[in-house]
Structure 1
Amino acid sequence: MPIKIDILRAAAQRTKTFGPHTLTEARMKGAKTAFLCHSHRDAELAKGLVHLLAEAGWSVYIDWEDSSMPEQPNQETAAKIQQKIKELNYFLFLATANSMSSRWCPWEIGYADGQKPNSQLLIVPTTDGSNSHGNEYLQLYRRVDLSNQGSVEVWQPGQSYTSVPIRSL
């Protein structure tokens, strides 16, 4: 099942933070790091996902939080995104209606697919209750979802019965 958008919105409202606060701190602590591919229109959902992953000890990079990024996307933006995708442990794709229709997101996932092993690319499918997003990737990459107990877990492509806590990756 995809993660409900309402769950991501609720997680974005939490004030307590967990896990490493910076990528440098994450590396020093041996925490997992990830690049989050998403539509900027889904900033609230991205924050919610980051919060859920921080609770599992992960540190997630979001490009619009990086003060070194140019204000308007250009070649420098692309080069910096490419570098972050290569340097961080995992690539996460937050699949929403906005990211699925974005011009940048397909480019980012295509680049990541050429740079990282499939085991380091994770799809985060979502649903708004009536529509689900990201299904076309679920046979290619592992997916991130919530277990019945509410913990963040990872499933192999096409499987729905056996998962691994994301904290264990």
Structure 2
Amino acid sequence: MTLRQSDLRSAATRQTTQIARSASEATRTGQQTAFLCHSHADRELVIGTVETLRSSGWNVYVDWADASMPAIPDATTASRIKERIVATNWFLFLATTNSMSSRWCPWEIGYADGRKPIDRILVIPTTDGQFTYGSEYLGLYRRIDRSTDGLLAAYSPSNAGVYLRNL
């Protein structure tokens, strides 16, 4: 079951923990760590996604929470993003209308595809009730969806699923 953007917005209002401000902060917890590729226009959805993933034991790195990132994207931004993608266990692509039309997000998933094992890249398709975003990538990468019992799981293109807590 594709994650509903309305559910992610609701989760953002329940935010109980801070977003990791650095890759090293994310890795210190001993949890699964992930770089979250997203559009900055989706801030509320990002917060909700982080909160939702934390409930499955994941610590998520978000670049705009990292004070070491330049205020205006440049070559330093690209270099640091590459470092963060490599430093975390997972690469997650939050698929929304904004991320699908972003200039940075396709570059980030392309970089991750060249640096991470394919099974360490997960797409998070979302729906706004009218459209579902991210289907372009689902034949290439596993996806995060809700299982029939409501828990988050990673599904392969063949629909075999594993609970996120078990990854």
TM-score interval (norm. to shorter): over 0.9
**Displacement, 1:158?**
3.8
2:149 matches 1:146: no
Structure 2 portions without partners, runs of 5+: none
**2:165 equivalent in structure 1:** 167
**Displacement, 1:26?**
4.9
What pairs up with 1:16-27 in 2 under 5 angstroms? 16-17=16-17, 24=24, 26-27=26-27
SS in 2 for 1:83: helix
Scaled by the length of structure 1, what TM-score is found? 0.92
Measure the CA separation in 1 of the matches of 2:82 and 2:17. 28
Measure the CA separation in 2 of the matches of 1:15 and 1:142. 26
Measure the CA separation in 2 of the matches of 1:144 and 1:71. 30
**2:135 equivalent in structure 1:** 135
Measure the CA separation in 2 of the matches of 1:85 and 1:27. 12
Scaled by the length of structure 2, what TM-score is found? 0.93
Q: 1:47 to 1:15 in 2, by over 3 A?
A: closer
Which residue identity lines up with residue 94 of structure 1 in the other structure? Answer: L
8 Å contact 1:22–1:59 — kept in the other structure?
no
Which residue identity lines up with residue 129 of structure 1 in the other structure? Answer: G
Measure the CA separation in 1 of the matches of 2:21 and 2:83. 20
Aligned-pair identity (%): 52
8 Å contact 1:36–1:94 — kept in the other structure?
yes
Q: Which runs of 4+ in 1 moved over 2 A?
A: 15-18, 20-30
Measure the CA separation in 2 of the matches of 1:35 and 1:27. 11
8 Å contact 1:21–1:59 — kept in the other structure?
no
Q: 1:96 to 1:68 in 2, by over 3 A?
A: same
**1:49 equivalent in structure 2:** 49
**Displacement, 1:27?**
3.1
**2:93 equivalent in structure 1:** 93
Q: Which string of whole-angstrom CA distances, capped at 9 and with x for unpartnered residues, describes residues 124-156 of structure 1? A: 001111101000110100000112222111101
**1:82 equivalent in structure 2:** 82
Q: 1:25 to 1:76 in 2, by over 3 A?
A: closer
SS in 2 for 1:129: coil
The CA RMSD measured in Å over matched residues stands at: 1.9
Structure 1 portions without partners, runs of 5+: none
8 Å contact 2:89–2:120 — kept in the other structure?
yes
Measure the CA separation in 2 of the matches of 1:111 and 1:24. 20
